[in-house]
Structure 1
């Protein structure tokens, strides 16, 4: 995979399906970067700004709880990109410009996986939205890959009930996982694939090892 979009060397994204353990990984990355003396900003998608968080609620609240009007796949995609455009301009770019490191729980790869792979929307449309509304890529993307049954079992143990995406069927998540794997295979310079089916301490250790290698290679200024 080639892309004309710039890859920012202080921008890290975490991707993966439901129950992949991104929170544990993000905390491990933050600790690693802070140990090297860097300012670190943690953020998430959809969300990251007050307006984007309101859009997040529209996207994730189960349809039955908000209105008798299911959200279409196309509307879902556009809402996610509206939130992302706001997030990039209000939070991510200002932090990068002042020299901070940004770690985002999900970024545009999730749109290719969930709305492209899962919903079956045209990825060329997603790419055009990415080019026009986002304009950058992470310098490093860690993909936490886990078996669907394992991830869903983990997610079901959370206190809150399933959101609109989490309530999807296994075949949906199978397409999401396949799309993530395809993107990782096509862009090995940016992606690091992590076996998230391991115990959390080992996942965290593998994540930190990837970040340390990345730092040692001089990818992060």
Structure 2
């Protein structure tokens, strides 16, 4: 079973402190200004049940999940997210902007935790079934990203990982982007946030223009 590409599903990826929330807001405003319906969401999360799973994954007050448990919980939340939020929005013609999607599992549970990439791909096919039309990878050096993220306050369980963990995350993301250049656009997120947001909006517009030409 192959993944169904969803042109109006746009995902933002990147390590901690990459500025995804700010960029997502800029993309939302650009789409709203052109008269589109927009659904903004995030992973893990995006539905009440999936948000509860997010709490389990990120909470530092209980024992850490094993890598296998973490992976399966991520995909359990994602399955709910796709069926209850993403697909209904796409079917009614809305654009969906998601702060992280399946690529995050390849980067975090795969590259950083050493998980079985073939198993992740099998879960993606069987549980998710769709892929984004456009993925913006906000790439930032780990030192800069963590400085930003840890300046926000208490770190969650994943934000508390060692720097080497996030180096592997960054490598995992870049490997994904190199393997799928038709879907990924890499943006230097070490720039001022206004410049990052402007480049992201430009990439979204280019994606929309290409859809109009092809469709």
Compute the TM-score of the two structures, normalised by the length of structure 1: 0.94
Q: Shift of the alpha carbon at 1:37?
A: 1.0
Q: Distance in 1 between matches of 2:92 and 2:209?
A: 22
Say how many residue pairs are matched. Answer: 214
Q: Distance in 1 between matches of 2:158 and 2:185?
A: 25
Q: Distance in 1 between matches of 2:68 and 2:2?
A: 25
Q: Deviations over 1:61-100 (max 9, x none)?
A: 11xx12xx33100000000000000010011000000110
Report the secondary structure of 2:191's partner residue: coil
Q: Shift of the alpha carbon at 1:202?
A: 0.4
- The residue that corresponds to 1:94 in the other structure is 88
Q: Specify which of 30, 33, 46 is matched with residue 31 of structure 2.
A: 33
Compute the TM-score of the two structures, normalised by the length of structure 2: 0.97
Q: Specify which of 117, 124, 129 is matched with residue 118 of structure 2.
A: 124
The answer as to 2:138 corresponding to 1:138 is no
Q: Distance in 1 between matches of 2:135 and 2:178?
A: 12
The answer as to 2:9 corresponding to 1:14 is no
User: CA RMSD, aligned part only?
Assistant: 1.3
Q: Is the CA contact 2:134–2:184 (under 8 Å) kept in the aligned structure 1?
A: yes
Q: Distance in 2 between matches of 1:156 and 1:173?
A: 13
- The residue that corresponds to 1:112 in the other structure is 106
- Poorly superposed stretches of 4+, deviation over 3 Å: none
The answer as to 2:165 corresponding to 1:172 is yes
Q: Distance in 2 between matches of 1:125 and 1:61?
A: 25
Q: Distance in 2 between matches of 1:92 and 1:134?
A: 11
The answer as to 2:55 corresponding to 1:57 is yes
- The residue that corresponds to 2:202 in the other structure is 209
Q: Is the CA contact 2:110–2:116 (under 8 Å) kept in the aligned structure 1?
A: yes
Structure 2: unaligned runs, 5 residues or longer:
none
